[in-house]
Amino acid sequence: MSLENIFRKSEKYFKKTLISGALPLVMLLSSCNGGSSGGGNSGSNSSAGNSPSQTVQTHVVSEGDVVNYSSSTGIINLSYSASNLNQGDIIGSGITSAAPSGFLRKISSMSSDGRTAYTIQESLEDAARDTGKDIRIIINSTLLYPSAVNFSAVKGITPLNLGFPNFNAGVANFVLFDLDGNPSTINDQIIADGVISFDSGFSLVLGADKNGIYDISFKNLISENSSLSISTSSSFGSVNEKIKIANYNIQPFVAGYIPTVPPIPIIIEPQVEVFINLVGSISKIQTSVNQNASLTIGVDYNNGQWSTNNLFSFPKPNFIPPTLPQASSFKASIGPKLNLLFYGIAGPYAEADGHLDFNSNGSSWALYGGLEGKVGVDMQIFKKNFSGYSATVINNSVLLAQSGTSQPTVNTVTIQPGPNEVDDAYVRQDIYADGTISNSGDGSATFLEINQDSAVKEETLVKILVSSIPTNANIISAKLSLYGYCTSNYNVPTITVKSKKILNLWNESSISWNTKPSYDINNSNLVVPDSGVPNWHEWDVTSSVQSWVNGETNYGTALLTTDNGAGCGFNSSDHPDTTKRPKLTISYSQ
């Protein structure tokens, strides 16, 4: 039988026990041997399967059995008096309201009334040895779709997308360091601005048998786009700040089972943290680096040996050369860290940072863009009293600019064409009560519309030519701006409007819903407040504009929403107010 089938079967069994959890709580393991309680390990001849190697009793609690569980004290308060729980038994829990991350514990003693279990953490290695069962986990993060994500962040950090595994957060005027600690005096601050978006996928294989943990293989696949700008008007001595700017908690899930009867669920909880790190001495400076990278970093443990692996692509970053470079030497980085928690306890982790390094002695200077990937495993949940492992598996740096060489100048242009130089239109589909559908499009309207509900769907398409940008330009940033507003039928505070690169030809005079072109799957999201007040809204289209400048045909950008009940209206290039027509603002160097 395949592992998957084993898991599936176990899962069914587990669900059954949860549902029947109304009966007295604990499922007692009526394993072959009965409990030779407290007995030593029967190391002899205990091949996995039907051999009576088990020396401890195992129990799985269901929802309602546990009133309270503390992972720090190990105290489990039960809702009933348990006569069948004894010192040395293993007690496990799936995801319940009292133990949202589950648990895997060994009972050190019971209260006399049988309602309180005092426990210690059971490692997976101990569990395999104690139960005589082989433990095998094979998981891939694609199994997690769709999974709820809880987001929290410090002030200045805005979530632009919360969906797993595509994370996106904006950094706006974020105070990295404040010399006197007083936020109202701002000339002693180091300010960070930028955006970080990334995908974080992972895979994990773990094996343990009666001889212990024999195999761990953990991989984190990351594709990351970060832009980090540092500015300060003061000089600072030594600074060393590592700030967690955002935290994404992804719902715990059952990753497998210890195949006892009943099976003990193994609960994993992915957590993604985003850090900004600043180390060094800083004088008055303003500089920024924008980089894309995709990387896979992994760590393996086999037969007692650790090894790492990596694969990465790191094109030369875009940057804004430093202004005011005085004597300083610092490294600023931003990046996500993925932690896999087992029963809420740290296990494997991986961290990928994009960084900018600046070194100056006052007379000469150099700016670098870099990528660093670190991976490691905290071992306590796998193997007790065994030290963990960590390694830097990628450390790559590219010289971007230095003094003495001609500095690229940054040009910023705004392209805001009239109706004859731009294609902009919206497409519409109406679904009537009798089931008939009509498709339409309007390329001469003064308002571009977006709508998403069961009766009316509308999407906006805008194509502004970028032929005025030189073909060798390094696009530092490109923003598509539209003037207008969004509202929702459901009184939600915000509406997410996605921008997507259009992939094939269309024409504003003939387009309709059923002839609309296809779009790229990637998008840049903008959270627009639910408001009837018109304003400028900007979508980041840097990567689209860079590819158009590099020679790809420019078919424009589509704007749409998937928020049900939401609608938007923006001025088109046909709008009489020439100052509030769609525009592209592009900063580039050569």
- Binding residues for Ca ion (CB under 5 A): 178, 180, 182, 185, 188, 424, 443, 508, 574
Contact 358, 351 (CB under 8 A): no
Closest CA to 84 of 18, 23, 165, 8: 23
- Going 174 to 177 to 179 to 181, the CA torsion angle's sign is positive
In the complex, minimum distance from the CB of residue 497 to Ca ion, in angstroms, rounded to a whole number:
19
State how far Cα 240 lies from the chain centre: 25
**Residue with Cβ nearer Ca ion (47 or 182):** 182
In the complex, minimum distance from the CB of residue 420 to Ca ion, in angstroms, rounded to a whole number:
9
**Residue with Cβ nearer Ca ion (146 or 576):** 576
Closest CA to 29 of 92, 71, 80: 92
**Cross-strand pairs, 137:** 206
Neighbours of 231 (CB within 10 A): 17
**Cross-strand pairs, 430:** 438, 456
Closest CA to 317 of 362, 285, 359, 353: 353
**Residue with Cβ nearer Ca ion (113 or 180):** 180
List alpha helices for 231-299, DSSP H.
none
In the complex, minimum distance from the CB of residue 424 to Ca ion, in angstroms, rounded to a whole number:
4
**Residue with Cβ nearer Ca ion (4 or 577):** 577
Residue 253, exposed/middle/buried by CB under 10 A (0-12, 13-18, 19+)?
A: middle
In the complex, minimum distance from the CB of residue 506 to Ca ion, in angstroms, rounded to a whole number:
12
Contact 341, 348 (CB under 8 A): no
**Residue with Cβ nearer Ca ion (138 or 445):** 445
**Residue with Cβ nearer Ca ion (212 or 419):** 419
Mark residue 245 as left, alpha or beta (left: phi above 0; alpha: psi -120 to 50; beta: remaining).
Answer: alpha
In the complex, minimum distance from the CB of residue 443 to Ca ion, in angstroms, rounded to a whole number:
5
CA–CA distance, 581 with 574 (Å, rounded to integer): 8
In the complex, minimum distance from the CB of residue 136 to Ca ion, in angstroms, rounded to a whole number:
55
Residue 454, exposed/middle/buried by CB under 10 A (0-12, 13-18, 19+)?
A: exposed
In the complex, minimum distance from the CB of residue 479 to Ca ion, in angstroms, rounded to a whole number:
20
**Residue with Cβ nearer Ca ion (60 or 422):** 422
Residue type, 257: Y
Residue of minimal Cβ distance to Ca ion: 185
In the complex, minimum distance from the CB of residue 414 to Ca ion, in angstroms, rounded to a whole number:
19
**Residue with Cβ nearer Ca ion (5 or 420):** 420
Residues ≥6 apart with Cβ < 8 Å to 502: 461, 463, 517, 518, 519, 520, 555, 556, 557, 558
In the complex, minimum distance from the CB of residue 556 to Ca ion, in angstroms, rounded to a whole number:
11
**Residue with Cβ nearer Ca ion (263 or 443):** 443
Secondary structure class of 315 (helix, strand, coil): coil
Q: Fill in the DSSP letter of residue 544.
A: H
**Residue with Cβ nearer Ca ion (182 or 467):** 182
Residues ≥6 apart with Cβ < 8 Å to 182: none
**Residue with Cβ nearer Ca ion (378 or 442):** 442
In the complex, minimum distance from the CB of residue 507 to Ca ion, in angstroms, rounded to a whole number:
11
Neighbours of 196 (CB within 10 A): 24
CA–CA distance, 70 with 77 (Å, rounded to integer): 9
In the complex, minimum distance from the CB of residue 574 to Ca ion, in angstroms, rounded to a whole number:
5
- The HSE-up count of residue 100 (CA atoms within 13 Å, CB side) is 5
Secondary structure class of 551 (helix, strand, coil): coil
Mark residue 354 as left, alpha or beta (left: phi above 0; alpha: psi -120 to 50; beta: remaining).
Answer: beta
In the complex, minimum distance from the CB of residue 573 to Ca ion, in angstroms, rounded to a whole number:
5
Torsion, CA 251, CA 255, CA 259, CA 260, rounded to 10: -20
In the complex, minimum distance from the CB of residue 277 to Ca ion, in angstroms, rounded to a whole number:
21
In the complex, minimum distance from the CB of residue 458 to Ca ion, in angstroms, rounded to a whole number:
15
**Residue with Cβ nearer Ca ion (38 or 418):** 418
CA–CA distance, 5 with 9 (Å, rounded to integer): 6
Closest CA to 446 of 580, 576, 584: 576
**Residue with Cβ nearer Ca ion (310 or 481):** 481
**Residue with Cβ nearer Ca ion (270 or 443):** 443
CA–CA distance, 502 with 255 (Å, rounded to integer): 39
